[in-house]
Amino acid sequence: MQDLLQKIESKNVKVGVIGMGYVGLPLAIEIAKSDIQVVGIDVVESKVDAINSGESYISDVPSEVLADQVRRGRFAAVLDFQVVRTLDAIIICVPTPLNKTKDPDLGMVVEAVDRIIENRRENQLVVLESTTYPGTTEEMILPKFQDAGASVGVDFFLAFSPERVDPGNSIYKTSNIPKVIGGVTPPCGEVASKLYSNFIEKIVRVSSSRTAEMVKLLENTFRSVNIGLVNELALICDRLGINVWEVIEAAGSKPFGFMAFYPGPGLGGHCIPIDPLYLSWKLKPMNYRARFIELATEINSGMPRYVVNKINDALNESTKAIKNSKVLIIGVSYKKDFDDLREAPALDIIQLLRSRGAKVAFYDPYIPEIRLDGFLLEAVSLDRGLEGVDCTVIITNHSCIDYRKVVEGSPLVIDTRNATKGISNSKIIKL
């Protein structure tokens, strides 16, 4: 342990990051910028080639920054897991989606751990960052190492540190977001904390890996439940003829005891729609039903259908049927000013509209095309999209879009994000 700590303190340590996606690549860059040698490991050859060519495929990582670290020899990417034999620390940042039955799919974590064990040596640190259910590190990963003859806290060190990436956030990046770290044993937590302190400004050490796993789920369950609450409030206000946006803005004037959340067309991204279900799944064998989580999930997952019904009713009021109506979707990424389509509610809305016979087009300055069940839909320009449109639907409120132009060019606008705030026009229908 002391040898590993000395390596970390002197920055004479070599780190591997498995998974070069939205979490792994920015993390690897921060490690390299701290003057620590880092290797990115991924099974996708095109990602490895792009990294080694200094070409970034993630907007949060400028190509010039990536190229500089590659040129300095601090960062390289490989496909071969045999590089693990040369590493002092390995950080796992692979996706952990839900399968078709909404159960956690940890297949990529298991594969990564198995490949690490095949190539491991003594005195290495292994950290899991992929979101998962409480107990994963101790119940699934630790036994695999023990079966291979490794002794935790003695000849290898194991910890969990939840990723907290907010893609597109210009203020909070990997380096200045506090890092929660929980070791399987106290020495494991000490080694992991010492490593991360080289490239993360603030370390928040907790008592166990299980606690760290729960921290991540609390953060996103908190958001999911509150968004579910405000989405239900939007449904209630709609029936009562009240502007939900005005209600939230006025409530936000209270200087204590209130935190504003906003309704929308559904939840997107890899975390908020998925993470709470990890906790719900974990509790089912314990005869405990996570009622808040399940209810929030039910409300949030029903919002795309509510939006489509809203479109249908609005068209009917204009003496038009949804079938054969031209509908322009404004914004399809799951969050504003970013190019991420993961779990984007716009995809569900487009599919529902198409199933009802609508002629759907979309405009998004960040997304050139989308694929839905094998169907390719290419983005149109705003001017072209507004030509002959029957209804325009604002799903993602990108800052660069001229919403006055959208309103002026549309006979009917469904605004799910309050993007048209300050524009007074009877053709605008708010969520």
Q: Give the active site residue among 188, 271, 391, 400.
A: 271
Active site residue 271: yes
**Residue 319 DSSP code:** T
Q: Name the nearest CA neighbour of 96 among 87, 86, 85, 106.
A: 106
Residue whose entry in the numeric block shows the structure tokens 């206000």: 237
Packing angle between helix 209-240 and helix 291-301, nearest 10 degrees? 50
**Please, are residues 61 and 25 in contact by the beta-carbon 8 Å criterion?**
yes
Distances (CA, A) of 115 to 17, 91, 253: 13, 13, 53
Sequential DSSP letters for 218-235: HHHHHHHHHHHHHHHHHH
Check if the beta carbon of residue 107 is closer than 8 Å to that of residue 72.
Answer: no
Cα 220–Cα 111–Cα 267 angle in degrees, nearest 5 = 25
> What contacts 385, CB < 8 A, 6 or more positions away?
328, 361, 362, 363, 392
Contacts with 287 (C-beta within 8 Å, 6 or more apart), sequence order: none
Q: Summarize the chain as % helix, strand, coil (round to 5).
A: 40, 15, 40
Structure tokens, 307 = 């939006």
* φ, ψ for residue 366, nearest 5 deg: -105, -15
Amino acid at position 222, single letter: F
- Roughly what angle, to the nearest 10 degrees, separates helices 275-283 and 209-240? 110
CB 74 within 8 A of CB 87: no
Cβ distance 161 to 182 under 8 Å? yes
Angle at 324 (CA atoms; ends 322, 329), nearest 5 degrees: 70
- In eight-state DSSP terms, residue 114 is H
Question: Hey, which residues are catalytic here?
Answer: 271
